[in-house]
Amino acid sequence: MSILEVQNIQKSFGSIEVLRDISFSMKKGQVVSIIGSSGSGKTTLLRCLNFLERPDGGRIVVNGETLFDAADPATQREREVRRKRLRFGLVFQSFNLFPQYTALKNVMLACELLARERPDYRANRRAIQAQIEAEARTLLDKVGLANRMQNYPWQLSGGQQQRVAIARALALKPDILCFDEPTSALDPELTGEVLRVIRSLKSDDRTMIIVTHEMAFARDVSDHIIFMDGGVIVEQGNPYNIINNPREERTIQFLSRYQTQQES
C-alpha cells in the first residue's frame, strides 16, 4: 500500500494557478525527488503537504487516512491540522533554526512541548525529559554533530545548521520527511555533508520527498523523480530515465539548461 497518495492537488494564489492537477504516490521507504525550474510549483507542493498552504482542490492520503480533501470540510478542521502536520517533517532551504537555543535544545524543544500533552507527563516528567534528551543526542550524533550540541546556530556553519535542522525534523518521527532545496542556501563546499546525511537516511529506509537542484544527487538517491514545470507534472518515473533519457521536450530543455549551467 502507498504511504502517500497525492490526488489532483490544485492551488492558486489570486488569479495565478501555481499547482494544477498534481497526482503522485509513493511507497514506504521510497525517496521521491522533485526537480524543475524556479516557480514551477515544487515548493508550494511541499508546503501543501505540510499544511503551510491549503490546496484549493484535491486529496492527500497518508497510510490510508485522508488527511485533506478539498471537497470535505470535515478534513480541514484547524485544531486537527496540528496533529496531521506531524505525519510530515519539513527541512527548509533557510534552515530556520531557533537562534536563541543550542543545537540540542533546537532538536528537543518541539518534543518537550508535545510531551506536556501526555497524560502521564506530570508523574514521569523527569524520565520523559531524559528520554527526549537521549533521543536528541542520538540524532545529533547521527548527523555528525556530537561535539556541537551546546553550540548556538550562529556558531555553526550553514551545513552544520542544516544538519541540526534535519535532526530536529527527525526528532518528531514523521512518516514522510520533506526537504525543500536543502542545499540551495549553502556554499558548494558545504553541500556534500548535507547530502551525505540525506543519503544515510535513505539507507535507514526513511520515506523522503526531496525538492532539489542537485541533479546527480537526485538521480543517485531517488527511487522516483518528478519533473514539474508551470505547476504541472510534466514527466515522472525512474531516475535514470528522467535524467539521462528524458522524453518530454520541456524536460530535455530544462536538463540541457542545467547541464550548460553546470559546465559554465
Which residue ranges make up the site for other proteins (CB under 8 A)? 50-52, 82-83, 85-86, 88-90, 92, 94, 96-100, 109-110, 113-114, 152-154, 168-169, 172
Instruction: Dig out the grid coordinates for 251 from the structure.
Output: 524536460
Nearer CB in complex with other proteins: 183/251: 183
Nearer CB in complex with other proteins: 161/251: 161
Bridge partners of 68?
Answer: 60
Burial class of 140 by CB neighbour count within 10 A (0 to 12, 13 to 18, 19+): buried
Least Å distance, CB 136 to other proteins, is: 13
CA dist., res. 121 & res. 140, Å (int): 25
Listed residue (225, 230, 210) closest to 20, CA to CA:
230
Nearer CB in complex with other proteins: 68/88: 88
Least Å distance, CB 200 to other proteins, is: 22
Least Å distance, CB 209 to other proteins, is: 13
CA dist., res. 107 & res. 251, Å (int): 38
Least Å distance, CB 152 to other proteins, is: 5
Name the 3-class secondary structure at 224: strand
Cβ 234 vs Cβ 228: under 8 Å: yes
Nearer CB in complex with other proteins: 47/219: 47
Least Å distance, CB 247 to other proteins, is: 35
Q: Are strands 2-13 and 16-27 parallel, antiparallel or unpaired?
A: antiparallel
Q: Which residues contact 30 (CB under 8 A, 6 or more apart)?
A: 3, 207, 208, 223, 224
CA 147, 207, 235 angle in degrees (round to 5)? 125
Cβ 67 vs Cβ 87: under 8 Å: yes
Nearer CB in complex with other proteins: 61/81: 81
Nearer CB in complex with other proteins: 145/215: 145
Least Å distance, CB 99 to other proteins, is: 5
